[in-house]
Amino acid sequence: MTVPGDFSSGDVLTAADMNGVSGALLGEARSTGDFTLTTSGVNILSATFTVPAGRLVILIASVPLFSNSSTTNESLIYLEDDVPASATEAYGQGVTQNTTLNMGSHIIAYSGSFSGTHTVYLNGYTSTGTSIANGNPSTTIQRAHTLLVLDGGLA
């Protein structure tokens, strides 16, 4: 197979060459709503996509701001496949916050194990108390919770 960027004059582009090229966006979800996170977990977004076997899938998730924490806690987001609000096949990241320090959280994950039609869920929870996954679009900087599923080419 000819690697993209390594073509020479007169080369023939084959189906195998095209199958190796990234397919871009497979699925997406966005929300500007606020979600109250608790210790039991909340689904923030989900995206359904179809991918053939042997492809690298790139998952990108963002919750730009956690706010209104009821106590010093850790607000976490994680991704999982097909079964919302359980810890199977999850990728995650946490942010420690208190009532005066508010931050967001982002995830970039790679997987070559997807094949067929799947739904990926972006979930969030807190270690104690509650906090808000804030997606308020009325602020100076537009915030939106985002979940992107990208085709990264051959795995």
What is the Cα–Cα distance from 44 to 31, expressed in whole angstroms?
8
Count of Cβ atoms closer than 10 Å to residue 93 Cβ: 15
CATH number corresponding to 25-154? 2.60.120.760
pLDDT at 87: 44
Find out whether 83 and 41 touch, Cβ atoms under 8 Å: no
pTM (2 decimals)?
A: 0.77
pLDDT at 147: 93
pLDDT at 90: 53
Domain boundaries, the chain: 25-154
- List the chain pLDDT tens, one digit each, 155 residues: 555 566 677 777 777 777 667 778 999 999 878 888 889 889 999 999 998 888 888 889 988 877 777 777 778 888 888 755 444 455 566 565 666 666 778 888 887 777 888 898 898 888 888 888 877 655 556 678 899 999 888 87
Assign residue 24 a region (left: φ > 0; alpha: ψ between -120 and 50; beta: otherwise).
Answer: left
pLDDT at 88: 43
